[in-house]
Amino acid sequence: MPPHNKSRLPKVGKTSREIRELLESAQPDPVRTHWSKVFRGPEDVQEIGRMAYNMFMSHNGLFAMRHAYFGDVETELLEMCTSLFNPTPDSCANLTSGGSESIYSAIHAVREWARVKYPHISEPEIIAPYSAHPTFSKGCHYFGLKLTRTGLGNDLRADVAAMKDAINENTVCLVGSAPCWPYGLYDNIRDIAALAKENGLWMHTDACVGGYLAPFVEELGYPIPPWDFRVPGVMSISADLHKLGFCLKPASTVLWRSAELQQYHYVHPADWPCGEYAMTGFAGSRTGGPVFAAWAILQYLGREGYLQLAQKLMETKQSFIDGINAIGGLRAWENDLLPLVFEATAFDLQAVAAELNRKGWILVGCKEPPLISLPIDAAVTDEVRDTFLADLAAAAESARATESVEEDSLAY
Ligand SMILES: *Cc1c(COP(=O)(O)O)cnc(C)c1O
């Protein structure tokens, strides 16, 4: 036995064939791990993304600002993205590695903006509804702001009156979700943004999950409450390309109402031997893979492609709702967008989740109230749906017979 049993680097490397076999044997059940995969488009969309990703994987975003072959593609990508959010002539965006980084970027910009606009505030505060993503708590921790979470209304949307009551002399920003992850519901962004405007505050809309799907779902005629730059007072938006934009991870965007606000994002130090260090965001060197993949996927799908995928996704969601509601004791919610969530009305949902886990499904849920979340994507096959609904019916059956459940099966 070696002194400690951590795996060591093999002395002699394996062949590519051996590696392939090892990786293939490490692959989990493709059907029952579906919900734990990142949101995806259909196989042809992923294939386009992989092609572009592989071509530009070793190209470095460090040079995006200096070399047109990279910078022009990134700029074009960001212009396509911005155009979806009812921009002002002056709206713009930056690419990030994910929703978390997009939210950190917004919180950082809010802090820098507040330092200029309200220099007397030494302990700036942000107000967000209880249902806002935990990244707001992380980001406020990292950047030294205080986050106050306010309660939700009976409809589980932000309680805007409670947000108004929570505003104090240190408040610099209000947050709303479009939609929030726990329930797939839109906060009343109009009211939150109006409140922010009235009080001279920044307002951020977190559209990480829905941002790249909502414009198309709305165009198809589904009712989506307004949440983007058409709402006066919305100053920044986070929206994930790698979720319902069907791009490859890691790719997200932070969007700014104006180029002036975007300036608070940039930190360009020059206090070292090599001169100005002008990156587009938090990252230093970064792979071109996700940038070129996102550009390629947006070009490949176009408006029509996104509309078709949005239609397919909403139909898939409905077929899950019908399938879940056909199982006695379960009820799917009719929420605004995604994720699809469902509750148990006649037994403990924890028992259902525990049984699904035992069958190999990897799921996330919500505790208040108990819900299971299904992040429907455009790669859900009939096999995934039918296997899931059959396992769910069996899990519901066994939950009925279960007296007490100890497992914490609904953790995120
Ligand atoms: C996913 C998500 C985030 C965080 O995004 P990551 O890409 O996981 O970092 C933030 N807000 C909402 C509403 C989300 O759904």
Tens of pLDDT, residue by residue over 313-326, are: 999 999 999 999 99
Percentage above 70 pLDDT, the chain: 98
Average of per-residue pLDDT across 21-31: 94
Q: How far apart are CA 160 and CA 187, in angstroms?
A: 9
Ligand 1 center–CA 74 separation, angstroms: 22
Q: Residue 135's pLDDT is what?
A: 98
Enter the tokens of residue 293.
């993949």
340-360 CB burial, b ≥16 within 10 A, e <16: bbbbbeebbbbbbbbbbeeee
pLDDT value at residue 402 = 82
Give the pLDDT confidence score for residue 2 in this predicted structure: 57
pLDDT greater than 80 at residue 120? yes
Answer for the pair 258, 229: CB distance below 8 angstroms, yes or no: no
Best mutation site among 107, 133, 175, 204 for ligand 1 pocket (most ligand atoms within 8 Å of CB): 133
- The C-alpha angle 83, 300, 90, rounded to 5 degrees, equals 15
177 lines ligand 1 (CB under 6 A): yes
Please provide the average confidence, as pLDDT, over all residues in the chain.
Answer: 95
Quick one: what percent of the chain has pLDDT higher than 90? 91
* Ligand 1 contacts CB of residue 209 (under 6 A): yes
Could you tell me the sign of the dihedral formed by the alpha carbons of 158, 208, 147, 259, in that order?
A: negative
Q: Specify the pLDDT at position 381.
A: 93
pLDDT in tens, 94-112: 999 999 999 999 999 999 9
pLDDT per residue as tens digits for the range 163-182: 999 999 999 999 999 999 99
Alpha-carbon distance of 59 to 37, in angstroms, equals 26
pLDDT, position 4: 67
Q: Containing H/E element for 204?
A: strand 202-206
- The tens digit of pLDDT for each residue in 230-262 reads 999 999 999 999 999 999 999 999 999 999 999
Contact of 103 with 135, CB cutoff 8 Å: yes
Average pLDDT on 369-394 reads 96
In this predicted structure, what is the pLDDT of residue 389? 98
Mean pLDDT on 357-366 = 93
CA of 240 to the centre of ligand 1 (A): 7
Max Cα separation, the chain?
A: 70
Structure-block tokens of residue 230: 């058409």
Tokens (6 digits) for 339: 């994720």
The answer, yes or no, to whether residue 407 has pLDDT greater than 80, is: no
| Distance separating alpha carbons of residues 342 and 325, to the nearest angstrom | 9
**What would the mean pLDDT of 265-270 be, rounded to a whole number?**
96
pLDDT at 1 over 60: no
Residue 313: partners with Cβ closer than 8 Å, 6 or more residues away: 213, 217, 244, 338, 376, 377, 378
What residues pair up with 332 in beta bridges, in sequence order? 342
How many angstroms separate the CA atoms of 126 and 142, rounded? 13
Read off φ and ψ for residue 303, nearest 5 degrees. Answer: -55, -45
Residue 11 carries which DSSP code?
S
Going by pLDDT thresholds of 50, 70 and 90, the confidence category of residue 409 is: confident
Q: How remote is the CA of residue 276 from the centroid of ligand 1, in Å?
A: 32
Nearest CA, atom 12, ligand 1: 208
Closest Cα to residue 214, out of 233, 194, 231?
Answer: 231
Beta bridge partners of 287: 60
pLDDT single digits (tens) 130-170: 999 999 999 999 999 999 999 999 999 999 999 999 999 99
Q: How many residues in total does the chain contain?
A: 412
pLDDT band at 55 (very low <50, low <70, confident <90, very high): very high
Q: Whose CA is nearest to atom 4 of ligand 1?
A: 99
CB atoms within 10 A of CB 367: 13
Question: Is 135 a pocket residue for ligand 1 (Cβ < 6 Å)?
Answer: yes
Instruction: For a ligand 1 pocket test, name from 213, 243, 249, 338 the mutation site with the most ligand atoms within 8 angstroms of its C-beta.
Output: 243
Angstrom distance (rounded) from CA 68 to CA 74 = 9
